[in-house]
Structure formats: C-alpha cells, structure tokens
Amino acid sequence: MAKTIKFKLFPHQKALFTSKDEIIYLRCGRGAGKTFCAALLCALRLVEGKRIVCLSQTSRQSREVMWVEIIKQLDNIVPGKYKANNGAQKITFGKTGVIYFASYESLETLRGFTQIALTVCDEACLAPPDLFSVVSFCMRDLPKGVSGQIIMLSTPRADNWVTSFCREQKVTIINAKTSDNKRISAKEIELMRKTCLDENQWKREFYGEECDDGSEGTLFTNDVLKDCEHVVENTQKGYAIGIDCSGLGVDNNVIVVRSINKIKKVVKKRTATAAEMCSIVKGLIEEFGRGDLSHIAIDEAYGLDLSNRLKEAGYFVQIVPFGGKASESVYLNNRAEMYCTMKKQFEEFGMIGLNEDMKRELNATRYILNNSNKIQIIPKSEIKLIVGHSPDTADALALTYTQPIVPRALTEYRLRQDREDMRDL
C-alpha cells in the first residue's frame, strides 16, 4: 500500500503501513509523525469502505487532534466526497466506510459495535488497562477476507500497562525518535530538550525509549531533597519573601523568607486579616533588613488586599497569578515556571533549612506535558490527596522564585548610577 501513497513516508511510517500484524505498537518520541501516519491510514481505510474506531485520551483531544488531522487527509484524498458529522463524531464514505471517534473516558459507548476492521488508540499509554476487553469485541463478525488490526500509538510513559502487555503478548513494536521526522527543525528539538527536566524523560520524549524508573513527572525526588541540604550557605546578600494567602481560613496563610540557598524563616497563620499579615511581613523585613530585601511575591488569589497595604508602605510587591502567562513558552503558566525554576536552582545551589512539610509537599508535586508539549504542574487538589493538606508552604516557597534575588539597595544604587551617567552625557 505504501507504494501507492503520494505522501513521502519516513521508515517507521512505512513499517506501520506495510505491517500485517494484528496488534502494532508505534512507540515514538514526540513529533515523530505518529499522528499524521495514523490519520492517513484511517483515511485510506475509510475510502476502502472499512469500519474504523479512533480513540483518544479525552473527547476534546479527539475533536482537536485526530478529527482535524483525518479531515485534512480526506481533503487531500477524496475532497468533497465524504460526510463529516461533528455532532455525532462520525465520518462516513460511500455505503460502508465509517470512522467512529471516541475517548478513553467513554469506552462504554463502543459496546455493541461490530465489524470494526481498524482500531487506532492514540497515546495508548494513557488508556485504561481494560481497553482490549472493550475493543476486541467491536472487531467481531468481520466480512470474509477482512482481518482486524489494532494500532497503538504513544510516547512512552513510566510504569504503564502497555509496556508489560506488549512484552507478554510479543506485540510488534515500531520505534522512532523525534529526529526521524526530518521536518523537525533543530530549534524545535532544542525547545523539546528544554521541556525535559531529567534524562529519563528525555529518553522517553525524544528517543521513544522505555524507562521504568518510577520517577516520571517527579520534580523533587527524595535524592534531590536529601542532597540539596548538604551544601555550604551561599553568602551572597539578598532575600525574597513569598506569601500564599488563605481564602476562608480553610488552609494556612504561609510566609516564606528565602536567601539564595537557605530558608531563613517560615510563618504559618491559620486565620489572619490582611492587616495582621502586613504587620508580620513588616516585622520580617525589619528583622532581615530592608536594604537586603529583593522582592515580595504574593499569590493573586487572596493576596490583593495585602499587596495593596504593602505597596502603600513603600515595599516592592509582585502580585502573581498562578494561572497567568509564563515568561517562557515551554511552561503552561506561572505556577509551572516557578516550580521548574525552583527545581533547577535546588540542583545548582542546594537548599538549607527545608522542613518536613516542605519536603512532603515538594516530593508530591508532579508535572506533566500537556497536549501542546507545555510543562504543567498537577492540580493542588491532587497534591492534597497525597500529603493530606494543601501545599501552601511549597507554593509560598515557589513564589520566591518569580525573579532572581537582587537586594533593593543594590538595585536602587544602580538606578542612581544610571541617572548620573545619563546627566553626564
């Protein structure tokens, strides 16, 4: 079949098209072209009059990724000759050809389907372990001479059922790394490298290799937290204050004071007014020196009143929306950027003075890569299920990493110097 296609296919894509195996696992690095290949295969099988099921992780991903890509391929192959029913999530061609779109969230909707000749499972590593118990029954009663085929596509994930299933069932695995897609630029690969926070993730995301180390998504492993305290204190002057405010007294109001690599103080208040919090912050600044203060960063959610009070008192305050746009495009939002910056600085400088609450919260803080390949931190609600409380201390510490620590006295001195230099000119 590959010889009749007018598209130029890479070796791993050709291998998929020519395979006659019942189950195939296309295990690739991100951007290797697995989605394009699967969409083209679905389009060609549709034109042949086959019945197809295309599965994605969520309904939204099904609509925004596979549906769009398959429509694109059909417009190239049989423009205007197919019917797309967006509401029913179904594409038909001729009398018998049909593609049904579904998600792993709604597998039950497939029960009762028959004569499915091709099932495509996008990001199969994210599918539930009972996937085949549903899919296999959909592929019964096929016409004489038609063989069913299941194609799994995925970037590898740690500790997932697909790895063991393929090993036990001796499933054909076609492997490809990102650079096997010759249309991927060096700049895009460099951006991918930047999103990978450890070597094992890089092996999965770029090389498509399995790494069952159990550390996937862990920003602060036990080893990182253990090693980062065994350092000498950095004597560079300056400190930052991070404040995570509680809304209705459900969680703690937390203030963290941090120098380059030392937690200088942590203050927790179950209930406190903005005026009381302002008074506490002023006391901390008096204790550690106003001239050495770099910045105060406050979570926007419940911190606007406190922020206004501190600004009125003449302090430099940065209000931070956790869900706001990050300064670098590899991060989904400010929260992801702060936590990843903190991880990198832990590894570079260490961190003295982490208490047990901080360690538990940081160890439970995981990240994922979303559909746009952006780094995203898991929701606070998930962390709360692991540690038993909201990660307020970790959030307050993360807020101190919104910008580098530079004492305000030094900044003001430099500004004066710049103004004097301008006058001299």
Is it true that 2-207 and 222-410 share their CATH fold?
A: no
Residues, the chain: 425
| pLDDT at residue number 375 | 87
In the block, which residue shows the tokens 């926007």? 300
**pLDDT (tens digit, 9 = 90+) per residue, 142-195?**
988 888 999 999 988 766 789 889 989 999 999 999 899 888 888 888 877 777
> Rounded to an integer, what distance in angstroms lies between the CA atom of residue 2 and that of residue 12?
12
User: How confident is the model over 17-67, as pLDDT tens digits?
Assistant: 999 999 999 999 888 988 999 999 999 999 999 999 999 988 888 999 999
CATH number of this structure's domain 2-207, picked from the four choices 3.40.50.300, 3.30.1330.10, 3.40.190.10, 3.40.50.10070: 3.40.50.300
Topology of domain 222-410, CATH: Nucleotidyltransferase; domain 5 (3.30.420)
Kindly list the distances between the CA atom of residue 421 and the CA atoms of 258, 417, 425, in Å, as whole numbers in the listed order.
33, 6, 6
DSSP string, 98-132: EEEEEEGGGGGGGTT-----EEEETTGGGS-TTHH
* Cα angle 367, 106, 375; round to 5: 15
pLDDT digits 0-9 by tens, 289-340: 999 999 999 999 999 999 999 999 999 999 999 999 999 888 999 999 999 9
pLDDT of residue 362: 96
Q: What are phi and psi of 94, to 5 degrees?
A: 65, -150
Question: For the chain, which residues make up each domain, given as ranges?
Answer: 2-207, 222-410
Amino acid at 394: A
Q: Which residues are CB-neighbours of 316 under 8 A, at least 6 positions away?
A: 293, 295, 296, 408
In this prediction, residue 250 has a pLDDT band, given cuts at 50, 70 and 90, of confident
Mean pLDDT of 10-18: 92
Side-chain-side CA neighbours of residue 217 (13 Å): 17
Look-up: residue for tokens 């959909």?
138
Residue 256 and residue 281 in contact, taking contact as beta carbons nearer than 8 Å: no
Once rounded to an integer, what is the mean pLDDT over residues 77-92? Answer: 94
Question: 306-328 b/e with 16+ CB inside 10 Å = b?
Answer: bbebbeeeebebebbebeeebee
DSSP string computed for 322-357: TTSPPSSTTBSSHHHHHHHHHHHHHHHH--B---HH
**Which residues touch 175 (CB under 8 Å, ≥6 apart)?**
12, 27, 28, 208, 209
Strand partners, 28: 176
Of 314, 268, 300, 330, residue with least CA distance to 399? 300
